Amino acid sequence: MSDLVSKLKTLGFTDYEAKAYIALVSSGAASVTEISQICDVPRSNLYSVLEKLNEKGFVEIQRGRPIMFQAVKPSKALNEQVDKLTKSIEKAKKEAIKELEAMIKSTQKNIEPALIWAVKGSSAVTTRLAEMIKRSRKEVLINTPSLSLLNENVVKAIKEASERGVKIKVVTQSTRGIELFRKICIVRSRDKIYGLDAVVDEREVLVAPAMPAIAVWVDNPTMAAHVKDFLNLVWKDSNIIGK
């Protein structure tokens, strides 16, 4: 009995509805008094339970004295109930998916995608820096202990970016080779530069030690903004190089 009640509850019956329906199926047509004698449902609740079963299509009511109740054939009643549940579940699923996906889209608008990569090898580091500069549209900030770390590929990228109207500022500790860079960008000097740092268009960041055998490249506006603030402080603290 309890197992059958559980199965009916899975199909949308309440506990009392399941017990009343089972009682009617087992007894045929019956009055409230007769049903109350064979099912574990309080008589005070039984009439409203039977009315609800009638609304759901599980029970037929025969008006008279006394009022009689009869279970609708289980195969018909339960198949119809499953169809209703299936349609209801499908509708709820579609609406839930729509609302949840809207939430995801709304959340994604507030999340900045961040790509963080380790770049290994001095050649790979300078190649990545050159690629960053080639993508530049507004501004490039570079902090380097030596201009010699900026190889010919980087120099070419700086020259082409400068010709596109990109503002390029370089701070270096060693001024050897400065004449070449003066022709293509703004250069200043400063002591105690311990690594190669670059920010492009407040979007991409490259950070490497003084001997750039490995670097970290990041594509994220928030991180780029922090590094840019640092490089701007370095720029303000740097020295204009005389001719």
- Counting the structural domains of the chain, the total is 2
Q: What band does 231 get if pLDDT is binned at 50, 70 and 90?
A: very high
Q: Is there a single domain that holds both residue 227 and residue 146?
A: yes
pLDDT digits (tens, 9 = 90+) for 21-75: 998 898 888 888 888 888 888 888 898 999 998 988 899 988 878 888 898 898 8
> Which CATH number fits the domain that encloses residue 198?
3.30.870.10
> Which CATH number fits the domain that encloses residue 59?
1.10.10.10
* In-domain check, residue 25: yes
| Mean pLDDT on 222-226 | 88
Query: What's the pTM?
Result: 0.54
Question: At what angle are helices 152-163 and 122-135 packed, to 10 degrees?
Answer: 10
Mean pLDDT across the chain, nearest whole number? 88
pLDDT of residue 113: 59
Q: Is there a single domain that holds both residue 119 and residue 236?
A: yes
pLDDT of residue 89: 87
Q: Is there a single domain that holds both residue 133 and residue 228?
A: yes
Q: Is there a single domain that holds both residue 188 and residue 126?
A: yes
Compute the distance between CA of residue 115 and CA of residue 210 in angstroms, rounded to an integer.
23
Q: Is there a single domain that holds both residue 132 and residue 214?
A: yes
Does an H or E element contain 22, and which? Answer: helix 15-27
* In-domain check, residue 92: no
pLDDT of residue 206: 94
> Is the pLDDT score of 129 beyond 60?
yes
pLDDT of residue 111: 54
pLDDT of residue 156: 95
CB atoms near residue 10 (< 10 Å): 10
Which range of residues forms the domain containing residue 232? 115-240
pLDDT digits (tens, 9 = 90+) for 176-186: 888 889 899 99
Q: Is there a single domain that holds both residue 121 and residue 232?
A: yes
| Mean pLDDT on 83-91 | 88
Q: Is there a single domain that holds both residue 167 and residue 228?
A: yes
Strands 186-189 and 167-174: parallel
Q: What band does 127 get if pLDDT is binned at 50, 70 and 90?
A: very high
| Mean pLDDT on 109-123 | 75
